[in-house]
């Protein structure tokens, strides 16, 4: 009797297994719009320790024709939600997983935000940008495109990780961004454009900096000026890169001059005025900041030449201050180089 029950049990188990294999499998539920599961490599979680929870889009807002704002909650920013503005190409459809667009990252400067480029320039009207996805991310009033040192503790804010890891992966997975990228920016964003291209080899095919902070360790004036910006809005200036003497290695790792060798294989565009009154300035307007950045950019250009960089374009146009009229003009001037690196006919 025991043997009969055992055989019957086995037959029932086999029948149950057969029925399970023949039953239709329920389709997996689609993730909510913008939901970003942790990336994996070979089935293993590949999210950096600083961003274990990744980033996710929590809201989408159409703000104008071809302009979409994403509200992104970021682990690298301590779980805060920040905005990213997209200027979308003709025919952009993020639901079409077959189409991925070449991408231009446009970085804002200190005291600006993710809306600066569209509100203060004609970038949204440029026909040459109707074939690329333009990404304009929030970077903090004075975030400096860096993962802040925070006295050796790291953590929030980690702007570099947010942009180059979290946001990049999110855009390429869910918002039709391709793997061909170029990056440009002004002032603080000019430094960011140079840093991201140098610190992440292969991520960007070209970089452009307009009046960028290109060599903050040039001299005491340059160091003190950037420390003053680090201290903006009541921040502790040593949180960003530490003390310029005691943590000089961290400073050098965020100084494009000392990373010049990593830029020699890609097209680089540098432009800056000399701080005196220029043709796009009100009468008598001058800028000590632009004069400082002009010296920094000349130093970087010389260093690029010394390391054998063959694809450097400089436009050191003399009279001109630290203002949007010049940066709009320089964006126009550099677009053929940037789009050429993307193999996009502008």
Report pLDDT for 32: 31
Residue 315 buriedness (CB in 10 A; 0-12 / 13-18 / 19+): middle
pLDDT band at 345 (very low <50, low <70, confident <90, very high): confident
Q: Where are the domains of the chain?
A: 52-342
Task: State the DSSP code for 158.
Answer: B
Residues belonging to the chain: 346
For 287-325, the pLDDT digits (tens) are: 999 999 999 999 999 999 999 999 999 999 999 999 999
User: pTM of this prediction?
Assistant: 0.85
pLDDT band at 5 (very low <50, low <70, confident <90, very high): very low
- Alpha carbon of 239 to those of 147, 154, 212, 218, 325: distances in Å? 10, 9, 21, 21, 33
Computed over every residue of the chain, the mean pLDDT equals 88
Report pLDDT for 53: 58
Peptide bond into 157 cis (omega under 30): yes
Mean per-residue pLDDT, 274-287:
98
Distance CA 255, CA 240 (A): 13
For 58-95, the pLDDT digits (tens) are: 999 999 999 999 999 999 999 999 999 999 999 999 99
Segments in the chain forming alpha helices (H): 2-22, 116-120, 159-161, 168-174, 188-199, 220-230, 238-241, 248-253, 288-306, 324-342
Asked whether residue 27 carries a pLDDT value surpassing 70, the answer given is no
Task: State the DSSP code for 137.
Answer: E
Q: Tell me if 190 sits within 8 A of 215, measured CB to CB.
A: no
**Domain 52-342 class in CATH:** alpha beta
Distance CA 258, CA 57 (A): 36
pLDDT band at 346 (very low <50, low <70, confident <90, very high): low
For 85-143, the pLDDT digits (tens) are: 999 999 999 999 899 999 999 999 999 999 999 999 999 999 999 999 999 999 999 99
Element holding 146 (H helix, E strand): none
Q: Tell me if 137 sits within 8 A of 105, measured CB to CB.
A: yes
Q: What is the distance in angstroms between the CA of the first residue and the CA of the last residue of the chain?
A: 84
């Amino acid at each position: 009797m025991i043997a009969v029950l055992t055989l019957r049990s086995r037959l029932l188990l086999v029948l149950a297994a057969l029925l399970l294999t023949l039953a239709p499998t329920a389709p997996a539920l689609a993730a909510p719009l913008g939901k970003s599961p942790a990336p994996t490599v070979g089935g293993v979680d590949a999210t950096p320790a600083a961003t274990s929870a990744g980033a996710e889009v929590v809201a989408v807002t159409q703000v104008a024709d071809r302009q979409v704002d994403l509200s992104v909650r970021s682990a690298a920013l301590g779980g805060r939600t920040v905005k990213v503005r997209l200027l979308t190409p003709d025919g952009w459809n993020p639901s079409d997983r077959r189409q991925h667009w070449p991408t231009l990252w446009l970085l804002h400067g200190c005291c600006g935000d993710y809306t600066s480029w569209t509100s203060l320039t004609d970038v949204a009207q440029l026909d040459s940008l109707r074939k690329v996805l333009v990404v304009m991310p929030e970077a903090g009033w004075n975030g400096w495109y860096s993962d802040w040192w925070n006295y050796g503790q790291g953590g929030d804010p980690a702007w570099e990780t947010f942009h180059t890891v979290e946001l990049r992966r999110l855009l390429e997975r869910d918002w039709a961004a391709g793997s061909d990228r170029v990056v440009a920016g002004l002032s603080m964003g000019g430094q960011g454009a140079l840093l991201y291209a140098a610190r992440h080899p292969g991520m960007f095919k070209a970089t452009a900096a307009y009046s960028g902070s290109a060599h903050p360790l040039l001299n005491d004036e340059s160091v003190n000026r950037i420390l003053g910006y680090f201290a903006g809005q009541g921040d502790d200036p040593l949180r960003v890169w530490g003390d310029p003497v005691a943590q000089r290695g961290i400073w050098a790792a965020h100084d494009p001059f000392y990373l010049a060798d990593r830029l020699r294989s890609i097209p680089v565009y540098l432009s800056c005025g000399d701080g005196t009154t220029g043709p796009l300035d009100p009468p008598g307007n001058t800028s000590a900041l632009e004069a400082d950045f002009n010296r920094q950019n000349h130093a970087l250009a010389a260093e690029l030449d010394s390391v054998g960089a063959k694809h450097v374009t400089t436009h050191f146009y003399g009279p001109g201050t630290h203002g949007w009229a010049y940066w709009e003009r320089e964006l126009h001037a550099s677009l053929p180089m940037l789009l050429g690196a993307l193999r996009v006919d502008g």
